[in-house]
Amino acid sequence: MSMKPSGPQSWTPDADSGISIDFVEAGELTFEVAQAGEGDHLALCLHGFPELHFSWRHQMPMLADMGYRVWAPNLRGYGGTSRPEGVREYAMDKLTGDVAALIEASGAKKVTLFAHDWGAIIAWAYAITRGHTLERLVIMNVPHPQVAMREIKHWRQLKKSWYIYFFQLPWVPEAFLGRNGGKTAGRLIEKTSCRPELFGPEVQAIYNGAAMRPGARTAMVNYYRALLRHRGTLDMSDFKVEVPTLMLWGEEDVALNIHCTEGTEEWVPDFELKRFPGISHWVQQDAPDAVNAKLKEWLPGA
């Protein structure tokens, strides 16, 4: 069921963008969802940390023009979406369940999943366990789980993953994200991008404002806490992804080394990789034109 917004929004799209914000009841939660386009083929876009549905602002109009009905939800705990309490509520079975609930709520006949960062971690798990419900999968700057497990055993990746262990601490990560008057989330993205001019004060303010909502920073960090504390909530023993998959990768990723793109074909037989030199982890925001061009080339259209 879709409802008009009843509370403050994290982002107010431009009137000429074709994007609207609605609140959608799916499963046990209410999701704040940016929407564009019409049709029976859903393009479901999952954002990462510390982002929002706003991170898909450059792709949504293009996908709608291609004939997709585009939904970019704020994930649980983010923006105006429901914020369950407790680390267990952010384990992988809950997160993939949200994807299934959103798809069911959409009523779509076909689904293509687009995902970045934490959204891509969820999308890999969903494709492994429920891939039969997808037409295609687009992953941005996150390795397949088996590749991630291989890489974390090497110093080249372990040294980049220090923040995962920092986020296990009580209250300290929340304090870190709330410092400087709540400007940390936006600055984190801007400082680690390759095109900081694209992440000016207005863009940063959207991310900062969402992160400073009551309980939001704890929810955001709980994804990382649950990743280590509640493993095994989802049976991914096979690890195969049978749907056609495109991986887009900004090569200047501060969190993930370039070897994370290697060996994916062992687990994803129908796989294509597109690397973007000089582009950061925030690939679809850092290089929107190049990303959109590749999506147009690879997607069949709705």
Q: Find the mean pLDDT for residues 108-128.
A: 98
For residue 25, give the nearest of 62, 64, 80 by alpha carbon. 80
Digit-coded pLDDT (tens) for 15-70 = 899 999 999 999 999 999 999 999 999 999 999 999 999 999 999 999 999 999 99
Q: Got the DSSP string for 147-173?
A: HHHHHTTSHHHHGGGHHHHHTTSSSHH
Q: How far is CA 148 from CA 70, 87, 212, in A?
A: 29, 22, 31
Catalytic, out of 224, 230, 253, 286:
224
Confidence of residue 302 (pLDDT cuts 50, 70, 90): confident
pLDDT given at position 134: 98
Residue 270 identity (one-letter amino acid)? D
CA distance 161 to 110: 35
Q: pLDDT category, 224, cuts 50, 70, 90?
A: very high
pLDDT of 236: 86
Residue 1, pLDDT > 50, answer: no
Catalytic residue among 47, 53, 144, 281: 281
pLDDT in tens, 58-74: 999 999 999 999 999 99
Active-site residue, 154 included: no
Please give the pLDDT value at position 16. Answer: 94
pLDDT at 6 over 90: no
* pLDDT tens track for 177-191: 999 888 999 999 999
**Is 259 part of the annotated catalytic residue set?**
no
Residue 245's domain comprises 2-298
Other Cβ atoms less than 10 A from the Cβ of 230: the count is 18
| Separation of alpha carbons 143 and 63, rounded Å | 24
CA distances from 302 to 38, 62, 63, 65, 138 (A): 10, 12, 9, 10, 15
The confidence score (pLDDT) of residue 38 equals 97
Among this protein's residues, is 65 annotated catalytic?
no
Q: Tell me which residue of 215, 241, 214 sits closest to 134, measured CA to CA.
A: 241
Burial per residue of 87-108, b for 16 or more beta-carbon CB atoms within 10 angstroms, e otherwise: bebbbbbbbbbbbebbbebbeb
As given in the structure block, the two tokens for residue 255 are 């969190």
Q: Which of 117, 126, 144, 230 is catalytic?
A: 117
CATH number of the CATH domain containing 278:
3.40.50.1820
Q: What's the alpha-carbon Rg for the chain, to the nearest Å? A: 18
Are 135 and 112 spatial neighbours (Cβ–Cβ below 8 Å)? yes
Q: What is the pLDDT of residue 276?
A: 98
Question: pLDDT per residue over 69-114, tens digit each?
Answer: 999 999 999 999 999 999 999 999 999 999 999 999 999 999 999 9
Query: pTM here?
Result: 0.97
pLDDT of residue 10: 77
Quick check: 206 pLDDT over 90? Answer: yes
pLDDT digits (tens, 9 = 90+) for 242-297: 999 999 999 999 999 999 999 999 999 999 999 999 999 999 999 999 999 999 99
Structural domain count, the chain: 1
DSSP structure string for 214-244? TTHHHHHHHHHHHHHHSTTSS--SS----S-
Taking the C-alpha atoms of residue 20 and residue 270, their distance in angstroms, rounded to an integer, is 34
CA distance 8 to 14: 16
Task: Give pLDDT, residue 7.
Answer: 53
The candidate with the shortest Cα–Cα distance to 64, out of 33, 42, 87, 97, is 42
